[in-house]
């Protein structure tokens, strides 16, 4: 019966800690605010200038059409003001006189006056209201003269609280829409399931990682093995077989393990003919074949120029990948794999292809770890380097017709 290998055991080398990454600075604004096209300015602050400043700032923004009534509006910008007591201040003034006697004693005489009054401050409130329900959708406040004052020609002017409120809202909306756009662009590529899209993602992410993608690839492999085991079994087997082929081993991992098992059984049974058949399978060289042209790698620079995701568009992912933490890599792996329709097979192929070309040392590290783990899970008593060295010795022993050397090398498997 053919003995199978659980490639999933390879994930014992691929571990990371699960945790949330960075918390967002603000809770997301309601969709009603983002989708609004028309606004009505309801100025109840008691000062006409408040409404004028709001109108001017919204006009500069250009996002909303300002209408004449709440019935025509998708949103109502309610402006209000209040003056409140923030504490009490006492001002004191006075004069003091005194005399000094012959013994050096000081006698003070004086009078003073004081006046206590309330210390007040003004605040502008901006509330976005649903004109149909009267529900408050968002609200904020700004103290009069808040923010950083503006200095011009030696004179300092306090900033308008109304303008600051409108600008704060604008910043919130633009940041939220920008983040959604960034995530959309990044997320659309894995979901496309095309070699070109996978290549773009691989290129973008690997150029951000300081280790050539080692940590990120481990995180993706760990996630695939747990969430998409069939996909991981498929791609990890491809990687292991590719590593064997590049090392000059003319068989795939399953056939290699089966051949070693056959050889062990034949040795126990002292069946020389069976030993010979098994050894041939193990030491056979790969068949000569023309390697297909890797158009994806060849055309990658061109495709990147056409489809490249600017690092600014990636947003938080940029700094996350550069930090190269297990948590950050886990976040990227989770996001990408959740969007790929094939469990990440195509994306992992693209990452492996790009790593092998641009970061050969990093890819050698990952592929060696994977092969070693697979050999260990299959019960092979040596790592990849030992395996390759042993097969070379076996080949040399066969050519030299040295049965003792062949037996000695075979025992290490």
Q: CA dist 203 to 224, 237, 263, 299, 359, Å?
A: 20, 23, 44, 12, 11
CA 254 to centroid of chain Cα atoms? 36
Q: What whole-number percentage of the chain has pLDDT above 70?
A: 67
Judge whether 301 lies within some domain: yes
Query: What pLDDT shows up at residue 314?
Result: 44
Query: What pLDDT shows up at residue 180?
Result: 60
pLDDT band at residue 68 under the 50/70/90 scheme: very high
Lowest model confidence (mean pLDDT) among 247-261, 307-321, 352-366, 387-401: 307-321
Query: What pLDDT shows up at residue 13?
Result: 33
* H/E stretch holding 161: helix 161-192
Q: What is the mean pLDDT of residues 274-286?
A: 82
Mean pLDDT, all residues of the chain: 74
pLDDT score of 42 more than 90: yes
Judge whether 6 lies within some domain: no
Identify the top-confidence range among 87-91, 321-325, 396-400: 396-400
Lowest model confidence (mean pLDDT) among 65-79, 88-102, 242-256: 88-102
Which pLDDT tens digit goes with each residue over 149-174? 544 444 334 468 899 999 999 998 88
Query: What pLDDT shows up at residue 115?
Result: 63
Judge whether 54 lies within some domain: no
Identify the top-confidence range among 12-26, 242-256, 294-308: 242-256
Please say whether the beta carbons of 143 and 122 come within 8 A: yes
Q: What is the mean pLDDT of residues 386-401?
A: 87
Q: What is the mean pLDDT of residues 361-389?
A: 89
Query: What pLDDT shows up at residue 316?
Result: 58
DSSP 146: -
Please say whether the beta carbons of 306 and 189 come within 8 A: no
> What does the angle CA 321 – CA 369 – CA 298 come to, to the nearest 5 degrees?
60
pLDDT band at residue 36 under the 50/70/90 scheme: very high
Q: Which domain holds residue 292?
A: 192-410
Q: Which two tokens stand for residue 48?
A: 């006409």
pLDDT band at residue 64 under the 50/70/90 scheme: very high
> What does the angle CA 335 – CA 340 – CA 345 come to, to the nearest 5 degrees?
110
Judge whether 70 lies within some domain: no
How many domains in the chain? Answer: 1
Q: What whole-number percentage of the chain has pLDDT above 90?
A: 16
Query: What pLDDT shows up at residue 22?
Result: 37
Please say whether the beta carbons of 321 and 205 come within 8 A: yes
More confident residue, 290 or 225: 225
Query: What pLDDT shows up at residue 91?
Result: 58
Query: What pLDDT shows up at residue 296?
Result: 38
Which pLDDT tens digit goes with each residue over 168-207? 999 988 888 776 655 444 455 555 556 666 776 777 777 7
Query: What pLDDT shows up at residue 84?
Result: 40
pLDDT band at residue 106 under the 50/70/90 scheme: low
Query: What pLDDT shows up at residue 181?
Result: 56
pLDDT score of 19 more than 80: no
Q: What is the mean pLDDT of residues 348-362?
A: 86
pLDDT band at residue 298 under the 50/70/90 scheme: very low
More confident residue, 125 or 150: 125
- CB atoms < 10 A from the CB of 402, how many? 14
* Helix/strand/coil percent split, the chain, to 5: 55, 20, 25
Judge whether 176 lies within some domain: no
Query: What pLDDT shows up at residue 23?
Result: 41
Judge whether 160 lies within some domain: no
Judge whether 313 lies within some domain: yes
Query: What pLDDT shows up at residue 407?
Result: 80
Query: What pLDDT shows up at residue 401?
Result: 82
Judge whether 111 lies within some domain: no
* H/E stretch holding 44: strand 38-44
């Amino acid at each position: 019966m053919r003995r199978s290998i659980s490639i999933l055991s390879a994930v014992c080398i691929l571990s990371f800690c699960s945790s949330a990454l960075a918390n967002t600075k603000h809770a997301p604004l309601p969709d009603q605010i983002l989708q609004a096209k028309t606004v009505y300015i309801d100025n109840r602050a008691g000062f006409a200038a408040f409404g004028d400043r709001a109108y001017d700032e919204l006009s500069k923004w250009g996002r909303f059409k300002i209408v004449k009534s709440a019935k025509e509006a998708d949103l109502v910008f309610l402006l209000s003001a209040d003056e409140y007591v923030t504490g009490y201040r006492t001002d004191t003034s006075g004069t003091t006189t005194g005399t000094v006697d012959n013994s050096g004693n000081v006698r003070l005489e004086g009078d003073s006056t004081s006046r206590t009054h309330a210390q007040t401050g003004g605040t502008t409130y901006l509330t976005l209201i649903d004109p149909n329900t009267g529900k408050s959708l968002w609200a904020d406040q700004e103290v009069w003269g808040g923010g950083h004052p503006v200095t011009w020609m030696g004179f300092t002017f306090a900033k308008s609280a109304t303008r600051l409120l409108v600008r704060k809202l604008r910043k919130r909306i633009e940041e939220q829409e920008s983040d959604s756009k960034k995530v959309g662009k990044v997320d659309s590529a894995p979901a496309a399931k095309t070699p070109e899209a996978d290549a773009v993602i691989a290129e973008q992410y690997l150029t951000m990682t300081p280790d050539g993608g080692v940590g990120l690839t481990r995180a993706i492999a760990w996630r695939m093995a747990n969430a998409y085991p069939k996909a991981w079994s498929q791609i990890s087997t491809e990687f292991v077989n590719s590593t064997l082929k590049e090392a000059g081993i003319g068989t795939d991992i399953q056939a290699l393990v089966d051949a070693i098992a056959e050889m062990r059984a034949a040795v126990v049974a002292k069946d020389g003919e069976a030993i010979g058949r098994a050894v041939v399978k193990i030491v056979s060289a790969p068949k000569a074949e023309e390697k297909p042209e890797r158009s994806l790698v060849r055309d990658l620079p061109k495709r990147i120029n056409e489809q490249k995701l600017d690092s600014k568009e990636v947003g938080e992912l940029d700094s996350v990948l550069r930090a190269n933490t297990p948590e950050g890599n886990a976040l990227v792996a989770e996001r990408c794999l959740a969007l790929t329709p094939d469990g990440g097979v195509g994306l992992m192929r693209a990452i492996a292809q790009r790593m092998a070309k641009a970061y050969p040392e990093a890819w050698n590290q990952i592929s060696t770890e994977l092969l070693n783990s697979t050999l260990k899970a299959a019960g092979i008593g040596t790592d990849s380097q030992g395996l390759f060295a042993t097969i070379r010795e076996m080949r040399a022993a066969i050519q030299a017709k040295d049965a003792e050397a062949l037996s000695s090398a075979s025992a290490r498997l």
